[in-house]
Structure 1
Amino acid sequence: MTVFKIAVISLLVGAGLSFVNITAQDILGSVGLSPLELWIYMIEFRDWAIPNMILGAVIVVPVWLVIYLFRPPRSG
């Protein structure tokens, strides 16, 4: 549900910015980025994040599983 709310608000804000003739390139240019540079940074982040998420999951998932299995049953 939260993702849907974020999508709707993003659409409304994007429509408002478009109405006053502000583009994504304008905003990126004001911070010194081009769309291609942003794309490259996103790919570099993905390439860094996925292996680190897998590495963390090797520890977190078994610990969570043990805690879940040995937790006392909930009442009601």
Structure 2
Amino acid sequence: MLRMLSTLLKIGLASLLTGAVLAEFDVSANDLLAQAGLTPQDIADFAVRTYQWALPNVILGSLIVVPVWLVIYLFRPPRG
């Protein structure tokens, strides 16, 4: 858990520093999106479509994975 938090902190710090450097060169998120042919609304629409696709699939998969995991967990030999 500590390793994951450390990694997230490093990613956040790297993103902050990169954003500060880009801001010094007067580069904005809208500029980068425009060069890619996208708008903030396109990104928001993509995020919504991704969520609408992923959520039912996660629920469907969990209907199989969770009971199988529970059975394996219950019948595992004790540790220690």
TM over 0.5: yes
Identity among equivalent positions (%) equals 51
- Taking structure 1 as the reference length, the TM-score comes to 0.86
Determine if the alignment matches structure 1 residue 54 to structure 2 residue 21.
no
Determine if the alignment matches structure 1 residue 14 to structure 2 residue 32.
no
Q: What secondary structure is seen at the aligned counterpart in 2 of 1:29?
A: helix
Determine if the alignment matches structure 1 residue 31 to structure 2 residue 36.
yes
Alignment coverage as a number of residue pairs: 75
Q: What secondary structure is seen at the aligned counterpart in 2 of 1:52?
A: helix
> Structure 1: which 5+ residue stretches go unaligned?
none
- Alpha-carbon distance in structure 1 between the residues aligned to 2:23 and 2:15: 12
Moved over 6 A (4+): none
- Alpha-carbon distance in structure 2 between the residues aligned to 1:60 and 1:50: 15
What RMSD in Å do the two structures reach over aligned CA positions? 1.2
- Taking structure 2 as the reference length, the TM-score comes to 0.82
The corresponding residue for 2:50 is: 45
